[in-house]
């Protein structure tokens, strides 16, 4: 009953097992992909902040738009931020797309 309800939501469910079968095709990458992508997202974001800090100063890097002071974000920092968003959004974007497409059908 729970499995069918989960399937109707566009996801899949499986019975939890503490012992995963390594021979069933589970290598290191599939097991650690979420951790690696989350860590790389944080690293890219931090690298973008540090690059921006080195280029335009700490106050500008942290943002001072509310005070009426604007500056141009360096292109390298933008690229690092974009990589961080892509790495961190690897699992979020497909689920968001499914949610949007499901809301169009109702």
Residue 51 has pLDDT above 70, yes or no: yes
Domain count, the chain: 1
pLDDT, position 23: 47
* Cα–Cα separations (whole angstroms), residue 76 to 25, 28, 54, 63: 38, 31, 12, 17
pLDDT mean across residues, the chain: 83
DSSP helix/strand/coil, 2: helix
DSSP 77: H
In a domain, 9, yes or no: no
pLDDT, position 2: 86
Query: Mean pLDDT over residues 47-74, rounded?
Result: 80
In a domain, 3, yes or no: no
3-state DSSP helix/strand/coil % of the chain, to nearest 5: 70, 0, 30
pLDDT, position 102: 81
Residue 105 has pLDDT above 50, yes or no: yes
In a domain, 97, yes or no: yes
Query: Mean pLDDT over residues 89-104, rounded?
Result: 86
In a domain, 93, yes or no: yes
Structural domain span for residue 50: 33-106
In a domain, 52, yes or no: yes
Q: Which two tokens stand for residue 37?
A: 């992508």
In a domain, 72, yes or no: yes
């Amino acid at each position: 009953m729970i499995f069918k309800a989960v399937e109707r939501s566009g996801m899949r469910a499986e019975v939890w097992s503490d012992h995963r079968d390594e021979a069933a095709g589970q290598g290191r990458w599939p097991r650690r992909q979420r951790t690696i992508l989350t860590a790389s997202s944080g690293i890219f974001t931090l690298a973008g902040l540090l690059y921006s800090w080195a280029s335009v100063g700490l106050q500008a890097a942290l943002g001072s738009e509310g005070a009426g002071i604007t500056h141009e974000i360096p292109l390298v920092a933008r690229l690092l931020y974009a990589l961080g968003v892509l790495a961190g959004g690897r699992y979020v974007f497909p689920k968001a797309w499914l949610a949007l497409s499901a809301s169009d059908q109702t």
